[in-house]
């Protein structure tokens, strides 16, 4: 439908949008540009000053904004599964509008790992850690589940994540789909002479965005790898010197 000659009024519901920094913000911006280039009318509905409001209050205010904005829309696209998806789905159902949810990352898993420092893998999270969720996290799980089950379509970026969520949220395969992230043209690659662990460590630290509790063990692993490389090199030099002496 996006590439048909019938132009639509599309609303993109997103938690962040430039000048906010983050992948979802950039994704929403590029999505807006692409739809506009196809001739559609696009409105972006994002959190503004209400970000400072307490949980629940800001969601209620966003719901009021959705109810005010959605009547003229042909389609709503929500770019998360809780903060904007839950109020957006409620408003869409009241107004009988079509809504698509694009999952992105797993907000509940990220929240749990940050709170507990339990570095459980996402593929194991819903099987092994669900009983350890606190009340707020369980509420997020149930409200997110309501939103994604009542959306007209739920889109994943990978088949891997879809297979994790199907049993975890009791989803039907027919209501889901896969829309992969954009892959740019492949750049010419040059085989490395050797692994540059110092550069890898610097890149890893840059991606942490100062989220130390969540990534501390990963940093420790990188440091151990770096120390082992340095130690091996020193031992190799020492062994060469000893052979030269004898």
Q: How far is CA 219 from CA 50, 88, 119, 224, in A?
A: 35, 38, 13, 9
- Using H for helix, E for strand and C for coil, what is the string for 172-207? CHHHEEECCCCCCCCCCCCCCCCCCHHHHHHHHHHH
* pLDDT of amino acid 2: 47
Whether residue 90 contacts residue 143, with contact meaning beta carbons closer than 8 Å, is answered with: no
What tokens appear for 239 in the block? 């062994």
Which residues have CB under 8 Å from 21's CB, separation 6+? none
Residue 234 backbone dihedrals phi, psi, to 5 degrees: -65, -40
* pLDDT of amino acid 218: 63
Which residues have CB under 8 Å from 129's CB, separation 6+? 112, 118, 120
Rounded Cα distance, 216 and 237, in Å: 32
Q: How far is CA 70 from CA 9, 32, 73, 194, 240, in A?
A: 10, 16, 5, 55, 73
Order across the sheet with 41-46: list the strands.
Answer: 41-46, 9-14, 75-78, 99-102, 153-156, 176-178
Rounded to the nearest 10 degrees, the angle between the axes of helix 57-69 and helix 85-95 is 40
Cα atoms in the 13 Å half-sphere on the side-chain side of 40 = 23
pLDDT tens digit at each of 246 positions of the chain: 544 457 889 999 988 888 888 778 888 888 888 888 888 889 999 988 888 888 888 899 999 999 999 998 999 999 988 889 999 999 999 999 999 999 888 888 888 888 888 888 888 888 888 888 888 889 889 999 999 999 999 999 888 889 999 999 998 888 888 888 777 677 777 666 555 555 665 555 555 444 545 555 666 666 777 677 777 766 666 666 666 554
* pLDDT of amino acid 86: 92
DSSP 219: H
What tokens appear for 21 in the block? 């920094």
* pLDDT of amino acid 34: 87
- Please give the distance of CA 225 from its chain centroid, rounded to a whole number: 28
- Using H for helix, E for strand and C for coil, what is the string for 116-179? HCCCCCHHHHHHHCHHHCCHHHHHHHHHHHHHHHHCCEEEECCHHHHHHHHHHCCCCHHHEEEC
Rounded Cα distance, 100 and 152, in Å: 6
């Amino acid at each position: 439908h996006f590439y048909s000659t019938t132009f639509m009024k599309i609303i993109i519901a997103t938690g962040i949008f430039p000048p906010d920094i983050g992948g979802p913000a950039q994704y929403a911006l590029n999505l807006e540009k692409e739809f506009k280039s196809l001739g559609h009318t696009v409105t972006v509905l994002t959190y503004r000053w209400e970000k400072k409001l307490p949980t629940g209050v800001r969601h209620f205010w966003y719901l009021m904004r959705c109810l005010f904005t959605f009547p003229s829309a042909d389609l709503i696209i929500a770019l998360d599964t809780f903060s904007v998806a839950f109020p957006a789905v409620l408003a869409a159902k009241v107004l009988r509008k079509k809504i698509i949810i694009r999952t992105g990352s797993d907000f509940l898993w990220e929240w749990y790992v940050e709170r507990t420092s339990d570095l459980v893998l996402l593929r194991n999270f819903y099987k092994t850690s669900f009983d350890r969720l606190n009340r707020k996290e369980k509420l997020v799980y149930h409200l997110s589940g309501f939103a994604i089950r009542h959306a007209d379509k739920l889109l994943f970026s990978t088949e891997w994540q879809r297979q994790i969520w199907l049993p975890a949220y009791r989803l039907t395969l027919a209501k889901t789909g896969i829309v992969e992230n954009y892959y740019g043209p492949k750049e010419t690659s040059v085989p490395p002479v050797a692994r540059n662990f110092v550069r890898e460590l610097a890149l890893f630290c840059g991606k942490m965005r100062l989220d130390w509790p969540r990534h501390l063990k990963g940093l420790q692993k990188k440091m151990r790898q770096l120390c082992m490389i340095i130690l091996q090199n020193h031992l190799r030099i020492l062994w060469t010197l000893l052979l030269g002496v004898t």
